Structure 1
Amino acid sequence: MPKIKIINDKNETVREIDCIGYNLQYVESTGNGQIRKILRLNNGKYDLRHWIKNQFYQPIAQKIKNRFKEKVPSFSNINIDKILFIEDTDYVGDEVKRTDDVMWIKKTPKQLKDITGYKFIIESREFWMERISNEQVIALIYSCLKRIEGDNLIDPDVRGWKEVIGTLGYGWETTMSPVPNLLEGFDEDDFSMLKKADKQMNMFDRAN
């Protein structure tokens, strides 16, 4: 568990804090007054119904970036540490209709961005994340990352990007049917912390 220790110039401990994650802001005594940030929010309550899930989703997002950065050049410029993953833990979906959103990305509001340093928020719904497959989790995060273009978000060509639909078919987000094994390099340990309840381009083909 991380531990934050604040010491004075006599090397005496002023305060010691056990924590899960942290977002430290400070001003250097010899600097120009600019606020500096050290960012690592991993797991904690975001608001009344959302929990921060960086500890769970950030490592998966990093693997996706590393795996696809040659095929998707924009991935090389994504800083995964600047994405805040939050999850709605109160939402209850309709398992019959299954038409609601599972995960999506948005820009961080300016005030929150200035305070925390996060540029984007990827939001999900625990109700669905408990029920869908590991392969669908990967495809959802991939789809969110593909929308990032520098500091902006672009719209997908079709819902979830055509290569995702070409690989998994329509309704890939909430289907309860098996979907193809998507990605080498993942194993069950990557998902252990998640609660589980034609000639179209295939996003998972290896580049030549």
Structure 2
Amino acid sequence: MQEIRIVDKVTGEVKNIECNGFNLQYITSNGNGRIQKVTKLNNGKYGEKYWIKNYVYQPIALKIKQNLMKQITDLSCVNVEKILFIEDTNYVAGEINNNNDWVMRIKKAPSQLTEYTGYLFIIESREFWMERCSNEQVVAHIYSCLRQIDDTSLREPDVKGWKEVLGTLGYGWEKTLSPIPNLIDLMEEFEDDDFTMLKKADKQLRLDLRIAK
């Protein structure tokens, strides 16, 4: 839990606001009237069916960047704090068109959202699939999205997925319930605590095939 404190320097009045995240906008006396922003949205509702999941996915994304940017130099230019992670909590996969189903994807943030919050990109996931993913799959999904960021724009993967992802994990890695290899040995840098906030499906509905450490 965080607390925002607003102090009126004239009257001395103090207002305390407890919150899980914030999007502050303010104007300074010497800022030429420009609206300044301080944003940290971690956990909250986004529209009718989405939930903000920065508290879950942003730490994982930061660890991916920090550990791989020497090998994948493009990652060094990725500003993870400019990404809003949202998750569709209503979606349920069906048997029709399952091959065209997606688990996680990245898109440019709407211009108005960027103007008022500073977020440049949105990484959108589906809770139905993410709660069924192994830790290795979660890392691979986020890595694949981060690789698409090119400064303030997005680029398409070099193949359907990135070569290093497909070469290591193979086709169909996104939704398989079978164990998959570690992506570029990165899983050694993660601990179980990195994934504790990620909701998992009822174990009676799936086999827990995550690779034990």
* TM-score of the two chains, using structure 2 as the length reference: 0.89
What residue in structure 2 maps to residue 93 of structure 1? 93
What residue in structure 2 maps to residue 154 of structure 1? 155
What residue in structure 2 maps to residue 77 of structure 1? 77
Provide Cα deviations, 1:112-154, integer angstroms capped at 9, x if missing partner: 1101100000000000000010100000000000000111100
Q: Post-superposition shift, 1:181?
A: 2.8
C-alpha change, 1:194 and 1:96, in structure 2 (3 Å) is farther
**Residues 135-174 of structure 1 mapped to structure 2, 5 A cutoff:** 135-174=136-175
Runs of 4+ residues deviating >6 angstroms? none
Q: Post-superposition shift, 1:11?
A: 7.0
Q: Post-superposition shift, 1:95?
A: 6.8
What residue in structure 2 maps to residue 188 of structure 1? 192
More helix by percentage: 2
More divergent stretch after superposition (95-104 vs 25-34): 95-104
| Whole-Å separation in 1 of the counterparts to 2:182 and 2:125 | 22
1:98–1:174 Cα contact (<8 Å) kept: no
What residue in structure 2 maps to residue 47 of structure 1? 47
| Whole-Å separation in 2 of the counterparts to 1:95 and 1:17 | 46
C-alpha RMSD of matched pairs (Å)? 1.5
What secondary structure, in the 3-state scheme, does the structure 2 residue paired with 1:144 have? helix
Letter aligned with residue 174 of structure 2: E
What residue in structure 2 maps to residue 129 of structure 1? 130
| Whole-Å separation in 2 of the counterparts to 1:177 and 1:94 | 20
Identity percentage of aligned residues: 60
1:88–1:123 Cα contact (<8 Å) kept: yes
C-alpha change, 1:116 and 1:54, in structure 2 (3 Å) is same
Aligned residues: 197
| Whole-Å separation in 1 of the counterparts to 2:12 and 2:20 | 24
| Whole-Å separation in 2 of the counterparts to 1:60 and 1:71 | 17
Letter aligned with residue 117 of structure 1: G
Q: Which runs of 5+ in 1 are unaligned?
A: 198-208
